[in-house]
Structure 1
Amino acid sequence: MRRRWSLVVGACAAVTLAGVGAIGYLGGDEPGTPTVAVWNAAGAASVRTPDAPAESATPEATTAPRPVTTTPAAPSAKATVPEPAGAARDGETADAGQPIGTVERVDRTLGYAGAARRTTLRFPGAEYVKVHFSRIALLPGDYLTVSDPQGRESHRYEGVSRDAVTGLTRAVLNPDAPDRDGERWAMSVSGDTAVVELHTGGTDPLGLKSALADLGVGIDRVARGYTRPERVEAAHELEKAREATPGPAGPGREESVCGGDEKSDAVCYRSTNPMAYTRSKAVARLLINGTELCTAWRVGAQNRLVTNNHCFSTSKDAYNTEVWFNYQCARCGGYDVYQSTKVWGDKVLATDRTLDFTLFTVESFASVQKFGFLTLDTARPAAGTQLYIPQHPAGDPTAIAMASGERGSNCAVDNPSYTGYASASDVSYYCDTEGGSSGSPVLSRTTNKVVALHHFGGCPNSGVRADLLYERIRSLV
């Protein structure tokens, strides 16, 4: 394992989300257990209208006021407008999925020789905070934690240490990993505040901590989620950019709501369509390089996941991608969410721009096996085949599109030979999707197998044919 970290979750943590509500976790993350958090407040601008009867009520998480005694880390005055497709952002990666945040420059140091051991980074109203370490040089046995103020979501890092006798840096993790010099992103913390703390041993008989003043931790950047006004502004700017460049389907036209938005929380189908609900558990939210969103899903029983090539295409980007399983609402039309299980992306095994897919693995695979997997259909679906799409639209908890507001019926295959990046490479449909849905599986309601990999649209939306995808990755899954 290239990263040494662990996640500790306690009870009733309440943290601010998007400036309009709070998210607080209760208990563990076993699928189906009533472990909940508040995802959004009832006063949110949009009204969620499910198309299936509500499940029996789950007790809502208690929300507590967030302490505001720390000095804010000065968020930007306005949302960062996404770079054009293909342009590098901050020297790290090209344009990927739906923009959901921005990167702030900071300058914080934790160390041994009289330096601070703890720092708090707060960005009022941010959905999440994700810390970037410019270096981690620790004495053996010492470690870092990044947590929310209550310590109920906490990630531990040991990383790169320095030998106390020779002063030589040694990589505890894989020496070929991108963070071999101690530079890395931490796992995000939900809410607008992250507390970073250096934990050291209580004794120092040789006085090494005072002698090795160059030991310590540097924090140079923080990726933080947009506030609600910034999300609205970013979506408006993105829509203006799309309207200014009309044309055929492609990057920049990845998702569309066709007619009325008919998506519903995945849990709305727990009783009415339990198979669709169960399949949705294999779908994950991606947070890419701290600022962008896509969707991915497990394919086959091995450690294999699929998303779009336009979301990411390299192992470096996979390594800096968070994969969130079980980020779902606890009840239909409600605002409680289950505790998600976060793991890191690992290696890209195959990728292709024309078929717009990336096949990759994750770290800590054993922790997400319980959420199940999907299988690819090896036959092209016929026109009229009824469909459903579990997805993370705009990065929200899992929703399922199963009806079509455009056509006033169930969403179904409109054209099984639709042209995507190549002639007849796609199937088209009017199932509703949004930014962040890129990479979602399109499943047949008859076979419950994946018939397409959603990637773009414009009403109709479309996905790459699963039979073509199967031929490309069959030896790897």
Structure 2
Amino acid sequence: MAAAVRNHEPGRDRGRVPARRGRRRIALAGAAGALALGTAAVVVPHALADDEPLGLGEAVERLDVDEAALGLLEIGEIVETAESLTYADETTVLEFSDPDASYVKLHFERMLLTGGDYVTVSSPDGSESYRYDDSQMSRWATSITGDTAIVELHKTGGDAVSDALGAVVDKVAYGFPEDVVDELVDEKNHRARPAESLCSDDDKKPSACYENSYPDIVDHTEPVARLLIDGTVLCTAFRVGEENRMLTNNHCFSESWEAQRTEVWFGYTCTSCAGGEATEPVKVSGDHVLATSEDLDYTLFSVDDFAAVERFGHLTLSDDRVGRGEAIYIPQHPAGRPSEIAVESTVDGGNCVVDEPVYDGYVADSDVAYYCDTEFGSSGSPVLSRDTHEVIALHHFGGCPNSGVNASLIEDEIGYLI
């Protein structure tokens, strides 16, 4: 089978900071947003009646069946704005806030700085802060967890007063609260054949639930990362090989400019099996797409600060034949939540196993099928062998059985890059 490969160049109230001279506050009143998805020609078994109730009112647009089959879920809305901090202004601080937002992510139309000047985007209490000291055009800043982001221009003593110098924010992504995201997932699951599927009961559990019973499985969850693409879209990815290499689905993104608009979150997990409180993730950005394939639905890419995430380890693609009944597990970030693992399966008698070692994906015989539970946002997750802890498939599709692209096919094409 020949696959097309393109090679590229290598909570809530968190408190408020004290009012300061020169601060402007830009607030969004209300969190209502729309769910918008990419489209693809995917065969779907049935369409639902036009008059079926949505259940979320104006917060959700009616979903197109083809869109629902892709598995890309938007978890926020992007609001256009036109706010600036220039060298000619006395204002040095902007505040962007929505009382219902789970995160705030700013997009700079341009950032033109001089000397040792820089811009920071921070949480109100300063616990999360990102510095930008390069002049750039059209870039997303790293998201700030919570409902408020503070932007500050730090001038280090230069006398420049040109209106052209400074930073211009042209749009802001506000994340929906978790309960709204859960409702969006439920709504989408009931409108068409989903690309991610819960098969019977939801048997996934937070990774913390397996720390004592399956420590090796939890260890192999650490290289798995949450993706936040272009401010609002979710997928999963994982580090593969010892070098600066990440693997996700082609349907998540396929170009370097898209990678550079993608946040990659490592170490995002619940602190206990009961869920609730999560660890603070290490956030880096995607960098270059090295190879991608529509047929095998993979994208291999790098990140911009590899040193910050190298400690999370890596996974290895298997080149062995996959057998029916082989025990497997899937670490993932379903609906963008902290890491969860599908180890058990009600459908398969208790454990996740390979149901069909050869199964049709986007092309014939490309996939491995299983009844492990996944959800929207799980696209790009690794399917691992319980025996070897090697990646036997790249999860991408559902319908119960769910399926992933056979890792040996991907290894055949891009193993030399890994």
Secondary structure, counterpart of 1:475 in structure 2: helix
1:209 aligns with: 160
> Following superposition of structure 1 onto structure 2, how do residues 277-356 of structure 1 map, counting pairs within 5 Å?
277-356=218-297
Secondary structure, counterpart of 1:268 in structure 2: helix
CA contact (8 A) 1:134 1:218 kept: yes
AA matched with 1:83: L
Once the two structures are superposed, residues 356-410 of structure 1 have per-residue CA deviations (whole angstroms, 9 ceiling, x without a partner) of 1000011110111111110111012100001100000110001110000223410
Per the TM alignment, residue 96 of structure 1 is displaced from its structure 2 partner at its CA by 7.6
CA contact (8 A) 1:72 1:124 kept: no
Q: 2:286, 2:388 → 1: CA distance? A: 29
The structure 1 segments of at least 4 consecutive aligned residues displaced by more than 4 Å after TM superposition are 64-72
Q: 2:365, 2:18 → 1: CA distance? A: 56
Once the two structures are superposed, residues 238-285 of structure 1 have per-residue CA deviations (whole angstroms, 9 ceiling, x without a partner) of 33542xxx5xxxxxx321011111111112211111110000001000
Per the TM alignment, residue 214 of structure 1 is displaced from its structure 2 partner at its CA by 2.5
Taking structure 1 as the reference length, what is the TM-score of the superposition? 0.75
Per the TM alignment, residue 233 of structure 1 is displaced from its structure 2 partner at its CA by 4.9
AA matched with 2:138: E
Q: 20, 26, 34: which is aligned to 1:80?
A: 34
Call closer, same or farther: CA 1:96–1:132 in 2, change over 3 Å: farther
Once the two structures are superposed, residues 202-258 of structure 1 have per-residue CA deviations (whole angstroms, 9 ceiling, x without a partner) of x45xxx433x2332211110012113454245335533542xxx5xxxxxx321011
Call closer, same or farther: CA 1:327–1:228 in 2, change over 3 Å: closer
Call closer, same or farther: CA 1:223–1:77 in 2, change over 3 Å: closer
AA matched with 1:346: D
AA matched with 2:149: A
Q: 1:443, 1:74 → 2: CA distance? A: 43
Q: 2:250, 2:29 → 1: CA distance? A: 31
CA contact (8 A) 1:380 1:465 kept: no
Once the two structures are superposed, residues 109-157 of structure 1 have per-residue CA deviations (whole angstroms, 9 ceiling, x without a partner) of 1112234111100011111111011111122111100001111100000
> Following superposition of structure 1 onto structure 2, how do residues 52-451 of structure 1 map, counting pairs within 5 Å?
65=15, 73-75=27-29, 78-86=32-40, 97-160=72-135, 179=136, 182-201=137-156, 203-204=157-158, 208-210=159-161, 212-228=162-178, 230-239=180-189, 241-242=191-192, 246=193, 253-451=194-392
2:406 aligns with: 465
Secondary structure, counterpart of 1:231 in structure 2: helix
Secondary structure, counterpart of 1:345 in structure 2: strand
**Paired residues, number:** 377
Once the two structures are superposed, residues 30-85 of structure 1 have per-residue CA deviations (whole angstroms, 9 ceiling, x without a partner) of xxxxxxxxxxxxxxxxxxxxxxxxxxxxxxxxxx6567988562256622121341
Per the TM alignment, residue 464 of structure 1 is displaced from its structure 2 partner at its CA by 0.4
Taking structure 2 as the reference length, what is the TM-score of the superposition? 0.85
Secondary structure, counterpart of 1:183 in structure 2: strand
1:6 aligns with: none
Q: 1:445, 1:77 → 2: CA distance? A: 42
Call closer, same or farther: CA 1:229–1:183 in 2, change over 3 Å: same
Q: 1:237, 1:256 → 2: CA distance? A: 13
Secondary structure, counterpart of 2:27 in structure 1: coil
Q: 2:98, 2:31 → 1: CA distance? A: 11
CA contact (8 A) 2:35 2:75 kept: no
Call closer, same or farther: CA 1:132–1:336 in 2, change over 3 Å: same
Deviates more, 1:276-285 or 1:337-346: 337-346
Call closer, same or farther: CA 1:232–1:446 in 2, change over 3 Å: closer
Call closer, same or farther: CA 1:401–1:237 in 2, change over 3 Å: closer
Deviates more, 1:315-324 or 1:64-73: 64-73
AA matched with 2:166: G
Q: Percent identity?
A: 47
Secondary structure, counterpart of 1:280 in structure 2: coil
Superposition CA RMSD, Å: 2.2
Per the TM alignment, residue 334 of structure 1 is displaced from its structure 2 partner at its CA by 3.5
Q: 2:164, 2:414 → 1: CA distance? A: 48
Once the two structures are superposed, residues 334-353 of structure 1 have per-residue CA deviations (whole angstroms, 9 ceiling, x without a partner) of 32222211111011111001
Q: 1:263, 1:317 → 2: CA distance? A: 30
AA matched with 2:32: K
